[in-house]
A and B are shown apart, each in its own frame.
Chain A
Amino acid sequence: MRIVNRVVRGVLTAVAVVGAVLTLQACGGTDGPTGLKGFVPESANDVGGISLPDIGPVGKGSERPLTAAPGDLLLVYFGYTSCPDVCPTTLGDIRSAIRRLPAKDRQRVEVAMATVDPTRDTAAVLRGYVGHFFSLWRAYRTTDPAALMAAEDAFGASSSVTRAKGGGQEVMHSAFTYVVDDQGHQLVSWPFGMRSKDMAADLRTLLSSNQGAQQ
């Protein structure tokens, strides 16, 4: 019995080690020096030069950079509203993450959704969709495919919309959420399926390290 236990324990340890290594590789240093749960870009990824029309309550259609307000964080997601599975799951998780923060920190996190499907995502539809999830939000919508692609490239995102056989649209999109500071630095990105408590942990870490900038 003891031998069996030892064998079982050995196997479990091996599984745990393999799991830990995979996790470390996957997340580019989970709990590493930065303590962040998501991916930290290997080199500084600057998106400060990118701007798109923001049709949200603040932008009202004007071109705005995809950077956070001073001392705050902006979460950027490239998605589309006809997405019944991945997008609402991610946006719901982001909402849960923000709700986990203390009230004063919640005011420092804004969420921006940039539509990859501007044909179906009319301004009214997109505004209703993003506004459903968040109180502080932006909705970026451009009908210029080159401008959208330039923005996606800067973030390391991608998307494609093709006409499906049945007449509908088939949309493929990278489903990451990017956390950007007021300088346009992409600080961390979260893959689809990231737990809201891990997102919240990253937000707390980043907001506390950005405290100085706020004051």
Chain B
Amino acid sequence: MARRMREVTGFRGGFRDVAPILAPILARSLIPGPAGLVAGALLAKRQNPGRTQGRPRDRDLPPARPPSAAPVQAIIKVEPAKSVAPTRSAATRSATTPVEDWLDHSPEAKSIAGDLVRRGAIIPGFARGGWHTFEDLVGGAVAGVKLLNAPDSGTWQAAKDGLARVADASAAAGREALENPSAAIARAEAGLQNWGEDLAVKTLPWKTPVEDTFRGEIDRQVNIGLNQGELLFDTASLFAGGAAIKGLSGAGKAAKGMKTVEHYVARGVPYSTAQYFVQPYKGMGHHYLPRRIRLPESLGGGPIPPAISDSPFFLLKPKGIQMGDFYELHYRVDPHFSGGRVPRRFGNVAGWSGKKLGWEKEDALGRIWYGAPDPLKYTAGGALGTGVIGLGAWVDEHDGEEKRR
């Protein structure tokens, strides 16, 4: 039944299918008063064109907020794919209705509606802040997993080196502050001023001019509200370990890309295989939900939809991981994985065997823990957290902008 519905409607239940439907509803729900109705109607109108044409995944959805020439937008990088979309003014002015025309020329309407939508956007902005912090956490967790798995002393050393560099920088800053306080204060003030001006433009409505059009003003105010919400989250999270999370992310970045051929050779890996192991991993990853699992017939039967099984919550495939690291992780958590072939160019026709390399298998508990993708681990903490982060992810993708940080 479900499969039949998918065939007829082309609806696959993915984010891109759901977002255009949810956006107007959320706008009406989150934004109080008539502004919510206006924003919802505008979003619905924006999402509808082309919805029935072609497969949902094939069509190019119009961006939730088309690029504009406003200063707030100008400081935020827009992805090239989205920047080629027609600008709002060019696309819509020819079809402006009398009501829209009146709204465009009414400073009062723009002020009232803008104020309302900005306040309404603070909540999803707060959630977006949570998502961005979560992304940092996941990025850092690449190294975190390595550390927790402790595959070898090299990983420990690289991570410790990264942390040591952070500590050294902090110590150097501290020494400078003690030795030459006035210079340190002047430098800090300059940095704070630059950062503060950038932040002010993004979070204070009077720092950027009012848009010409009503829609443009709504977009501008929504942006500002989202940024205000994210700032609120960041500030609050500092008291709840946010700074530590960012530190972990930094350690993760420092720990990435550290494996060399020599590293693997020292661990007993043949040179040709070591050359293969340092390549970036390009495979399918580890599916936490085994691919043999089938949905019950009442749900359409067949395999679990890729939207679920290949989602970051159920697919273990850390970003930037190398072949060797991933194979070792995969070997540990998949009880039926023993080794594999090496591409011919590397000259090892005998393949590699985890057992021969001295790798260990996890027990059942270890497989449950280490085989779980980090997003699943970290969101399994509570339904509330999952809901907030999920909303943040939705806002982030719908927003389609560079992170505020």
| Chain A bound to chain B | no
